[in-house]
Structure 1
Amino acid sequence: MQDFLALTLAGDTPAARCGETAHCRWMWWDEGVLQLIPHRASDRPLVLSAGIHGNETAPVEMLDELLNEAHRGELVLTRPVLAILGNPAALRAGKRYLSDDMNRMFGGRWQRFPESGETRRACVLEHCMERFLSGVDAAWHLDMHTAIRGSYYPRFGVFPARATPYEASFLDWMRDAGLQALVFHRAPGGTFTHFSSDHFDAQSCTLELGKAQPFGQNDLTQFALTKAALRALLSGVPAARRDETPLRFEVASQITRQSEAFKLHMSAQTQNFTAFTCGTLLAEDGDTVYRVENDTEYVLFPNPTVAPGLRAGLMLKTIA
């Protein structure tokens, strides 16, 4: 379907909700949700999502370019694809979210938040994932984001906790997609990728690609390796092999803001993957004190302005 992004940003419903090209059939499921089924599918299904946060536009533009290539026949799909623009209302407003962070709501956690457009949207997206992934073996889900802050490693992946190891081919794809670091969670969470992994055993990863910018201000050449690897994935060919191995980290601890007294002892210029030595005071929240517990830890997603009860940062340690 042409103009999927433009249609979504306009809040319009397509004149036709399904159709086909020379290579695939498409169906518009809901606002910002498009299914594409190749006439000859030979690879496992793939969910490509972006725009869960409405101010993270580079992955949205990249996804739109890939969908347009598929529509024009320049990219011939070999796998079923569910393309998702996660939070259309926030995308239209150019804001991270309108009421609450939707990437804390999945796995039914939306029921814990005051009802809003985001809680209703999280519920809709869960149903869409169930419709697409139920009964499917080993699908992949790539949820594309950008970070609020700058990063020493601008392209990195965050993997939800899961009971079984990630497939080697999935991790190899991350290397070939130009990711510089891989971060592994140890505990469940409310992210979109944890939902797909936990409920459907999908190979899931949150891709963080650069820093949040408004539409039209993104330099997509920074992510040329990632786009090329996505294009190869969609068309069923191996991505160009890269020799650079991403650094690996696991979550050592979480900094949680519990009250209005919360104080994060990091400047607004602190970048993702900034290193801190053992004993460094990281944050205070009343009687709760957060310090570095390992020889060296690295901060990820520091954000002192989150709502009470939410994550204000992750501390990482390196793994082999």
Structure 2
Amino acid sequence: MQDFLQQTLSAKPPARATGHNDQLSWQWLDEGILELTPHQPCSQALVISAGIHGNETAPIEMLNQLVSELLAGSRPLKTRALIIFGNPQAIACGKRYVHCDLNRLFGGRWQQYDDHPEAQRAWRLEQALETFWQAGCSEENRWHLDLHTAIRDSWHTRFGVLPLRETPWPDDFLHWLSAAGLEALVFHRAPGGTFTHYSSQHFSAASCTLELGKALPFGQNDLTQFSAARAALAAVLSGEPLPPVDKKPLRYRVSQQITRFTEAFVLHMSAETLNFTAFPQGTLLAEDGSKRCYVQQAREYVLFPNPNVAKGQRAGLMLVEDNAHKETSGSDRT
């Protein structure tokens, strides 16, 4: 197999489902799911996913370049790796999703939509994670890096969103996020239907959704803007030194969620509102019939504002700064 992305978009399995080179063995598990195993024993098991939203193409291109180097034998592999292109049908169409948002369906939430292809895909990806991590030993260091780009521009161009976690975040994982060039980290305080929450909750993986820039179509990405993330991914895959850390990311935690419940929902933000825009206490953020959502803290920052989500879905998150905690603090960070 020469090109993992092109093979995935062909909607056909490769002529051979397994292969090897001097560095690794590979196995095509399913459409857009590839397992890579180094010939030497290792203590790390890494899942890297991209294309959970099909129109977020830069991470797909960047990850495919790294996979091509690994398959060609020009890059060593020092960790067990599961590479996932999450939503091949949406990637082929250039759409965020086809029927329903895949990144809201994990943790069994797909059962509400089990007649839709995205629901079936969420179930398949859950199976793939379970099989991958069960094949390793209990002492393996489990990471899940889910690569995205954002719909809107942002005051922080590159940032990470970390799921609810009851145990302290590993120091080496947080250091890796800094080395990947992230300018901010957002810590969830409630469960959700995202891929990273599923891997964290069910497999105790150190998981992060990485927002690495602006969502653009294939052929319009300047991949030099993703050089820090690419170098950090290459380092963890190949056991190389990480890029230097110029500045640690700022920290935020989720203070409240804006949810669309009815067709009457109105989000009081313009289409040009940037992620991490600040609003003062008392600002009316959204209305939904008789429901009103206001800024509750002295200052809150908006993340992922989107009035066009389905009913019952998140239309935005509100954040507060949370830079007082040390990296070794516990679940109060989340």
In structure 2, give the amino acid aligned to 1:301: F
Shift in Å, 1:114: 5.1
Number of matched residues?
320
1:97 matches 2:97: yes
Q: 1:308 aligns with which of 299, 308, 311?
A: 311
Taking the aligned partners of 1:237 and 1:41, their CA distance within structure 2 comes to 16
Structure 1 residue runs of 4+, over 2 Å off? 134-138
Structure 1 unaligned segments of length 5 or more: list them: none
Shift in Å, 1:73: 2.1
1:42 matches 2:45: no
- Give SS of 2:60's match: helix
Task: State the identity %.
Answer: 57
Taking the aligned partners of 2:2 and 2:281, their CA distance within structure 1 comes to 53
* Pairwise CA RMSD: 1.0
Q: TM-score, normalised by structure 1?
A: 0.98
Q: Deviations over 1:275-316 (max 9, x none)?
A: 111111100001110111111110000000000100000000
1:277 matched residue in structure 2? 280
1:164 matched residue in structure 2? 167
Q: Deviations over 1:223-262 (max 9, x none)?
A: 1011001101101123022130100000000000000000
1:117 matched residue in structure 2? 117
Shift in Å, 1:67: 0.4
1:82 matches 2:82: yes
1:54 matched residue in structure 2? 54
1:131 matched residue in structure 2? 131
Shift in Å, 1:13: 1.1
2:232 matched residue in structure 1? 229
Q: TM-score, normalised by structure 2?
A: 0.94
2:176 matched residue in structure 1? 173
Given that 1:98 and 1:118 are in contact with CA atoms closer than 8 Å, whether structure 2 keeps it comes out as yes
Aligned ranges 1:165-314 → 2 under 5 Å: 165-314=168-317
Taking the aligned partners of 1:200 and 1:172, their CA distance within structure 2 comes to 21
In structure 1, give the amino acid aligned to 2:127: H
Shift in Å, 1:71: 1.6
In structure 1, give the amino acid aligned to 2:103: N
2:326 matched residue in structure 1? none
In structure 2, give the amino acid aligned to 1:48: I
- Give SS of 2:309's match: coil
2:3 matched residue in structure 1? 3
Taking the aligned partners of 1:213 and 1:171, their CA distance within structure 2 comes to 28
In structure 2, give the amino acid aligned to 1:159: L
Given that 1:143 and 1:205 are in contact with CA atoms closer than 8 Å, whether structure 2 keeps it comes out as yes
Taking the aligned partners of 2:76 and 2:88, their CA distance within structure 1 comes to 27
Q: Deviations over 1:166-193 (max 9, x none)?
A: 1011001111110000000000000000
Structure 2 unaligned segments of length 5 or more: list them: 324-334
Given that 2:114 and 2:120 are in contact with CA atoms closer than 8 Å, whether structure 1 keeps it comes out as no
In structure 2, give the amino acid aligned to 1:202: A
Taking the aligned partners of 1:142 and 1:176, their CA distance within structure 2 comes to 14
